[in-house]
Structure 1
């Protein structure tokens, strides 16, 4: 085992070193005085942030839009993930398990930005494309996590109900699902955190929310307004992370 671990670490080290060698990184230019002066000048352009009433109202509307995109996208993904997790956990036979897992792999292997770019062509600009992009990617992630949860549950309670005459659906609802529900809710909250960040970024390609507002002001070089939007993003992500952490701890207890 130690030899195997050493070989893996050696291979990783070779890959990292080869990556540095293959890339033409100009470290001297990056840490030069001229680069530092340009960065300082660029950052000072964001000060002071625009906190006018009109700007704050626009930020509030965009924040609600971002929250709505992430919440609705996560909800759709939860429903789709549960439906796909049942066959993916092996409850409908081996063929259904492998084909469903292949579908889940495809859904989650395509990033949200790619989904949004494709859906924008079909649905046009706006939060609908962003919401569906989040739902498609998150369905693949949650479906796989839910399937693993269901597959690793102790089967005793479900088997007992089946032996006493319960149907497969009743045994799942009253035995398997209550056991796996806390873990599944924890996964859902964690993915909602990620979708808040993703929803903010998806707006950059025209999918609405704070990201679209940020792109608009940056493209017009309105740096103080862009700074206000970025601050709103940071506050939103911090609040959601804190709330999700508290809820997850309560569930695990």
Structure 2
């Protein structure tokens, strides 16, 4: 590789930035890997290996799991609907399309996804109060920004043969989108939506920590009281829920790809 090559300078700059990152973070690896720290972590993990299986607690855990699942599903559904609605003005459908609303709509999508779910939840708790409603809205707002941008890119990169054929016949842009563009990109849009549902099931569990309801709220409560048996059960429920949603999403994407 020549010294004057742009690739060489790009790689060199990347290595310098990585080195500076390690230097500035002040990573105390010796402290983390010390015998005392390892013993403390082992004791903590040992306490987590005795989950609470009392029927009364498991009933609460079941309800919280369903609440977390519902938050992720409803939040993703709302985001998918509004993502499609915002993706249309945020995309340029064909060469020569004026796309007058493309810039402001993309700016809105950037703002929605730039704010993390936890910040949205903290803001919405003021108006919506504690509980799953604020968490669901927080997921919907952030995911709308993510899916809207992905959907817009899919629309812009969609094959144009069918759409061009309809435009030549004088069909309006709305019907062109419904009958030509949307059927072409719908498998990709569904794949994106399912993938975000996988992410939102994890985010929904975290949102409960700030009062968004579900498993996260139980986790925050029992960890705050150092009730390790209950904490272990909540963590196990989170893992099972994530595996379940990942499996369902995987098979759904397989069916869509056929």
Give the total of aligned pairs: 253
* Correspondent of 2:243 among 235, 238, 245: 238
Residues 21-40 of structure 1 aligned to structure 2 (within 5 Å): 21-40=23-42
Is residue 91–residue 99 contact of structure 2 (8 Å, CA) maintained in 1?
A: no
Take 2:65 and 2:217, find their aligned partners in 1: how far apart are those partners?
11
* Correspondent of 2:74 among 61, 72, 75: 72
SS at match of 1:186: helix
Alignment correspondent of 2:137: 132
Q: C-alpha displacement at 1:167, in angstroms? A: 2.3
Alignment correspondent of 2:116: 111
Q: C-alpha displacement at 1:204, in angstroms? A: 0.5
- TM-score if structure 2 supplies the norm length? 0.94
Q: C-alpha displacement at 1:93, in angstroms? A: 3.4
Q: What is the root-mean-square deviation of aligned Cα atoms in Å?
A: 1.4
Alignment correspondent of 1:101: 106
Q: C-alpha displacement at 1:11, in angstroms? A: 1.4
Is residue 90–residue 96 contact of structure 1 (8 Å, CA) maintained in 2?
A: no
Q: 2:209 aligned with 1:204, yes or no?
A: yes
Q: C-alpha displacement at 1:166, in angstroms? A: 2.3
Take 1:249 and 1:68, find their aligned partners in 2: how far apart are those partners?
23
Deviations 1:137-192 (A, max 9, x none): 00000000110011111112112112223222222111110000000000000000
Take 1:137 and 1:23, find their aligned partners in 2: how far apart are those partners?
29
Structure 1 segments unaligned to the other structure (5+ residues): none
- TM-score if structure 1 supplies the norm length? 0.96
Take 1:23 and 1:154, find their aligned partners in 2: how far apart are those partners?
47
Alignment correspondent of 1:55: 57
